[in-house]
Structure 1
Amino acid sequence: MMATQHEITAARRHIERLRDEHANDLTALIRLVDGGALRGPAGDSLAADLRTWDHGLKDLFTRALRLLDTLPPSEPAP
């Protein structure tokens, strides 16, 4: 069963909302760690991990949105 344009648009909005929420959360965590909340090698390692995670999530959301662009919408049921 193929998705309707309405379902594709709703999925896009949901993915974009999740992308924005996660970006804001990760940015806040990175700023917290960079601001000295956790010092030393553990803090440096966590900051690096958070940046890697941020990059991975951005890539995941970008790929999900691109996938939606390839979906041909079906006609709504009568």
Structure 2
Amino acid sequence: MNFVKITTPIQYVASMPGDQQKVVAIQEMIDAIAPRLLPVLFTGLIFYLIKVKKWTTYKLVILTIILGVVLSVLHLIA
């Protein structure tokens, strides 16, 4: 099962030889290197905040909601 799903819609235009351009999706590059890297990093952050910083579940839920809303509004995650 996959409980955490985070993707990024960020793309950029890369210049190719011969005055050609190619649209490159960051998510495809991340998936090529390590599939599901963003969910693993987020889960690691939550684990760190619980074990090292001793955060409560209430703080973690609020952080998750705020991060989700802010990063969605900024179009950094989908």
- TM-score range relative to shorter protein: 0.3 to 0.5
Bigger relative contact order, structure 1 or 2 (CA pairs below 8 A, ≥6 apart): 1
Q: Of Structure 1 and Structure 2, which has the larger fraction of its residues in helix? A: 1
| TM-score (ref. length: structure 1) | 0.35
Q: Of Structure 1 and Structure 2, which has the larger fraction of its residues in strand? A: 2
